[in-house]
Structure formats: structure tokens, C-alpha cells
Structure 1
Amino acid sequence: MSVSRQKKVYIPTTARKNQYITVGFPLTEAILAAFPDAPSCYEALSQIVFKLADEHELINVHVIANDKLPVVRYHSESYCFPTSEQLRIFYNPAYHEARQLHTTPDFTARKFRVVFLATGGDIRVNSAAFHAKVQHFVEQLKPLLPVQNVPIKVRDHQHLSYDFFAKAKGNKETYGYKLRAIDSRYHARECNLPDNHSALCYVTISMPVNRQILSQFKAAQDADYGNLYQSISQAFIDAAQSKQLSRVAMVANGLTPLVRNSKYEKLQTTAESQMIGFDPNAEAPAPITHWDSSKLVDSIKFAIVASKSDVTDEGYGRFMNQVEEALQSFTSSLNLDRERVDMILRFHQHISYSK
């Protein structure tokens, strides 16, 4: 394989691109007390946000004032629904607009979070321009807040998602992505990031647990699924390590896996979320597995995190090719019906910094 080809990964042209940016700050007592005559502090702050967002042509905006975690995904229809811990937002960036305030009656939020969803055409090409708009928004928001010097956290989330078995379903056309780090892409488009920003790159895979899987491991009638999960976990870890991918995790307990940089963030598993912590600088960390042997899940979630050496313009393409080769080996060992199974792979690039 040529060097230039190694730097690219060939992804189905049906892949979905997504980007959203969150801007958040703590709701201190001083901020809450600054709006005694307003219907609520949240409504007053949201009106400031919506007016400023309109000025910057940010047209899909959700204000979250109930401490729920935003989870954003593509969908042909626009809708969002809350769980006890999350706000799940589905939309098509080509068509959908929104400006919504999300609160919970009689609940005092600890954080005020604004979620900006990317809109328009090629999301990845226009990601720097979108981020620059949000940067300008933050700079103009600061003096409008009732308390000065409030620490504002900016998080930029970008995804490429596709069915790993798309080719078997007849979607054979691919596009060669020369994946680049976010800061490099942004710098080339004159959108500069603070030097102290942190970055994390990883892949998540969702594999449905169907009758074929159950019968293959003779687990259809079992009340204890530990052997099923152990066998699948070992097959996944072996396939990943054969391609020099050591930062891996598997979750099969019904919780939503959330990958975090353990060097900077405290990890706390909740009733809905399974926190998975990786330090990209750590050498050869042990695989992480979480499953509930008494519960048969609808799908098993996997994660593969890029190492420090992968987080370069040349490294991402190589990393993704290693991931695809490992998944080819892993899924072949399970003998999955590629024409009938959707195995969704999502490539994540995240950056965060404080303003």
C-alpha cells in the first residue's frame, strides 16, 4: 500500500457528517439573583442567547437549563426528547432549524448550556467557519452576563458515522478522507484555538445482538449471558490488539458509553451512562469491559481510542484503517450476515477549552 493511501480512509459516500458545539458556564448564586423581576433566570438568559445567535446566523440553538447531557444524532425528522439524564436531539443539518429552551419545573440547574447544531451543506468543510461564529458569539456574550469573569467552557464535537457493512448492502461507492486534526483544519482556515485546548479522538461501534449471535454462542435460552459477553469481548480485544489498538472498551449493560479523557475529567457512572476513561498518553492500558451477565442487551457497544501518536494529520487515516481492519477480522470471526445487520461505526473528534 502506498504512503499516500495509508493516510486516507475510504468511507461510504452515504456516511453522515455531524457537528455540534456546546458553550456552558456555572449558574452561580450571583447570576441567579441578577434576574429578580424576570419570569425566570433561564428565560432571561435564553433571550440574550437567542438574540445574539440570530446576529451570528446560528440558526439551530438549544438552551439546556436542567443539567441534562445533550446527545446529538442525525435523523430525517427533527425532534428531541428528554430522559432523566439526557436530552437526545435528532435533526438533519441540511433542513432543520430550532431555538428551544429546555427546563424542568422546580429544578434549579447547576449549569447553563447552549448547544449549537451545525447546519447547511458540507459540515466537515465548513466546520471552521461554524466554530468561528461560536467564538464570536462567546466574546460578545461575556459582557452581557450579569456577572463578569464567568468561566465559559467550549466543546466542539464532530462525527462521521456509517454502516460498516454498507458495501455488502450494495452501497459500494466510497470517498477517500484524508482525516486531519481539528486544530490543523481550523488553523488553515484562520480559525485559531487556544494553545491549552484538549483533544480526544475515538471510534464507537454499535453491534446488535440478534438471534444469529445468540444461537452461535448457544445463549438463546440462557439466564446468564456472561459467557456470551466474555467470548465476544475476547474476540474484539484480540482483533484490536492484532492491529496494535490497545485502548479499547466494550459495554454490554444497557448504559450509554461516554468516552472521556481521564487525565482531565472525573469519571462517574450514572443510571444511564457508563463512563469510560482513557489517558491518550498512557502506554498499553488494560482493556475496559462492563457487562451485566443477567441482562440481555439489544446491542453491544465498543470503543477504540486513538493514542497520542495517532493524533496527527497523518495518524488519523492510519488509525482508522487499523480500526477497519480489526473490525473486518472481528466481524468475520462472528460470521455476521452483513446484508441484514447494521453495524454503525462513528468516528469522533472532540476538542475543548475554557474562555
Structure 2
Amino acid sequence: MSVSRQKKVYLPTTTRKNQYITVGFPLTDEFLAAYADLETCYLEFSKLAYQVAEKNDLFNVHVVASDKLPMVRFHNEAYCLPTEEQLRFFYNPAHHEANRLHTIAGYRAKKLKVVFLATGTEIRSHSALFHSHVQKFIAEIKPLLPIKDLTMKVRDHQHISYDFFAKSKGNKETYGYKLRKVDNRYKRRECNLPENVSALNYVTVNLPVGRRIKNQLLASNSTNFSENYQNVADKFIAATKARQLLRVAMVANNKVPLVRNSKYEKLESTNEFQMVGFDPNAEAPAPILHWDDSKIADVLRFVIVASKSDENDEGFGRFMNQVEDALRAFTKDFDIDEEHIDMVIRFHQHLSYKI
């Protein structure tokens, strides 16, 4: 592959783009005391948020007062499906707009979280403009709040997703992406960020355990599948290590990996989330492996985190080419029905800061 092509990764034209930004307002005693009661606080704050958002061309806005974690995916129909720990938003940015308050009766949230879902057709190219609209929202709503010195946390989430086996399904057209760093893209479009921005770039891979994979990898008369999972992990680690991808994880316990910048691996996991922490300063951290050896997982989930050496002005195209090479090597030994199984790859770009 030529040097110029290494700077780009060529993904299916069916690739989906998503962006959403969350702003967390701490719900302190002092903040709550400015309202008649908890329900009034939620209603009046959400009404104010919608008004300020509309002025700043933000048309899909949700106020979450349940402390549940937003998860956003593309869908041609709009849904919001709650679980015990998540709010799963499914929507098409080109068509769907909404204002909605999400609460649990009688529950006092730790923070009021405003979730802005990007709208339009050019999500990635307009990401800086979307972020600047949220910044204007924050600047306008702050003096209207009962507490003037609140410290808010802003999280900007962007990802692109596609089926690794798209060509096997007849989707052969591709488009080249450089996948530039978020802060570099924003600077070029005059969207200013604070100096203390934390950034994280990584890939998640979801491989459904269909009948053919189950028969090949996990079928056993034993009630302990640890050896089977270890065999999968060894193949994955070997394939990624050969491509200098050293920050990797495998999760096979029916939990969703939640990736964080951290100096510690042992973060607090929950019933739905498996915390996966990577120290950005570690040269070659040990692979992170989590599975339930008493059962067969519905999906094998893998994480590959970009290191400092993968970051450059041109973007993460070379990193993604390495990821795809590793996945081709990893999957070639498995009996996968590529015409019917979707192995979804998501390239995540996150940044966060306090304001």
C-alpha cells in the first residue's frame, strides 16, 4: 500500500456516522432549593433547556434526570429504549427531531444531563459547527440558572460504524477517510476548546456468536468454557500484536465494554457495563480479558485503543488499516457466514472537558 493510501482507510459507502454531546449540570441542594419541588425542577429546567437549544439550532434535545447512560445508534425509526442503566437512543439524524424529559418518579438525580443528538445529513463534516452550537447553548443558559458557579462536564461522542463483511453482502463501493483528530478538525473550523481537554480514540468490534461460530469455538460437553474463550483471546491478541496494536480487550460476559482513560484496569463494573481502563502512558499494557466461563456469550466484543503513536496530523487512517488487517487475520480461521453475519466495527472519537 502506498504512503498516501496508508493515510486513508477505505470504508463501505453504507458506513453510518453519529455524534452526540452531553452536558452535565450537578443537581446540588442549593440548585434544587430554587424550585418548589423535584418535579418542578425537572420540568422548568427542561423547558428552559429546550428554549435555549432551539435558539441555537439544536433540534434533538433530551434532558436526562435518571442518571442513566445515553447510548446512541442509527435507525430509520426513532426509539428511546430504557434499561436499568442505559437510555438507548435509535434515530436517523437526517429526519428525526425531538424534545423529551427522561425521569424516574420520585428519583433525585445526581445531575441533570442534557443530551444533544446531531441532526442533518453531513454529521462528520459539520461536527465542529454542532459543538459550537452547544457551546453557545452553555454560555446562554448559565446566567439563567439559579446557581451561577456550576462546573459542568461536556462530553463529545463521535463514531462511525460499518459491517466488516459488507463486501461479502455485495456492498463493494468504498469511500476514503483520513479520520482526523477531533481537536484538529475543530481548530481548523474555528471551534475553540479549553486547554484541559481529554481525548480518547478506539475501536469496538461486535462479533455475534451464531450457530456456526458456536459449534466451532464454544461447543463443548464441559460446563466451563474458559479454555474456549482463552483460545479466541489468544488468536485475537496474536493478530493485533503483529500489527503493533497493543491496547486491546476482549469481553464475553454479555456486558457492554465502557472504555475510559485510566491508570487502573480494575474499575467498578455494573450489571450492564464492563469497565475497560487503559493507561495512556503505558507502552505495552497487558490485554484486558473478561468472560463468564459458565456460559456462552451472545456476542464476542473486542476493543482496540489507539496509542499516542497512532495520533498524527493526518488522522487515524493508518491505525484503522492496521485494525482491519488484524481482523482479517483473526477471522480467517473461523467459520463465519459473512453473507448473513454482521460484524460491526465502530471507530469512536471522544473528548471531554469541564467548563
TM range (shorter): over 0.9
The percentage of aligned residue pairs carrying the same residue is 62
Change (3 A) 1:264 1:298: closer
After superposition, give the CA deviation of every residue in 1:35-71 in whole Å (9 maximum; x if it has no partner).
Answer: 1268521111111101101111100011100100101
Instruction: Give the whole-Å Cα distance in 2 for the aligned partners of 1:296 and 1:263.
Output: 30
Counterpart in 2 of 1:259? 259
Measured after TM superposition, the shift of residue 90 of structure 1 is 0.5
Counterpart in 1 of 2:350? 350
Measured after TM superposition, the shift of residue 297 of structure 1 is 1.4
Measured after TM superposition, the shift of residue 221 of structure 1 is 4.8
CA contact (8 A) 2:209 2:299 kept: yes
Structure 1 length as normaliser, TM-score? Answer: 0.97
Change (3 A) 1:220 1:170: farther
Measured after TM superposition, the shift of residue 167 of structure 1 is 0.7
Amino acid at match of 1:325: D
Counterpart in 2 of 1:211? 211
Q: Are 1:23 and 2:54 counterparts?
A: no
Instruction: Give the whole-Å Cα distance in 2 for the aligned partners of 1:56 and 1:277.
Output: 35
Instruction: Give the whole-Å Cα distance in 2 for the aligned partners of 1:346 and 1:255.
Output: 17
SS of corresponding position for 2:332: helix
Counterpart in 2 of 1:160? 160
Change (3 A) 1:264 1:98: farther
Amino acid at match of 1:8: K
Instruction: Give the whole-Å Cα distance in 1 for the aligned partners of 2:306 and 2:37.
Output: 50
Instruction: Give the whole-Å Cα distance in 2 for the aligned partners of 1:255 and 1:340.
Output: 24
Amino acid at match of 2:74: Y
Counterpart in 2 of 1:101? 101
CA contact (8 A) 2:264 2:278 kept: no
Structure 2 length as normaliser, TM-score? Answer: 0.97
Counterpart in 1 of 2:9? 9
Instruction: Give the whole-Å Cα distance in 1 for the aligned partners of 2:183 and 2:158.
Output: 12
Q: Give runs of aligned pairs for residues 79-118 of structure 1, distance below 5 A.
A: 79-118=79-118
SS of corresponding position for 2:274: strand
Change (3 A) 1:256 1:243: same
Instruction: Could you tell me which runs of 5 or more consecutive residues in structure 1 were left unpaired when the two chains were aligned.
Output: none
Instruction: Give the whole-Å Cα distance in 2 for the aligned partners of 1:266 and 1:26.
Output: 26
Measured after TM superposition, the shift of residue 337 of structure 1 is 2.2
CA contact (8 A) 2:168 2:338 kept: yes
Q: Give runs of aligned pairs for residues 37-186 of structure 1, distance below 5 A.
A: 39-186=39-186
Instruction: Could you tell me which runs of 5 or more consecutive residues in structure 2 were left unpaired when the two chains were aligned.
Output: none
Measured after TM superposition, the shift of residue 283 of structure 1 is 0.7
Equivalences, count: 355
Amino acid at match of 1:9: V
Which range moves more in the overlay, 263-272 or 191-200? 263-272
RMSD: 1.5
CA contact (8 A) 1:214 1:220 kept: no
Which range moves more in the overlay, 341-350 or 261-270? 261-270
After superposition, give the CA deviation of every residue in 1:221-251 in whole Å (9 maximum; x if it has no partner).
Answer: 5422222211111111110001000100000
Measured after TM superposition, the shift of residue 218 of structure 1 is 5.7
Structure 1 segments, 4+ long, off by >6 Å, are none
Which range moves more in the overlay, 222-231 or 55-64? 222-231
Change (3 A) 1:39 1:260: closer
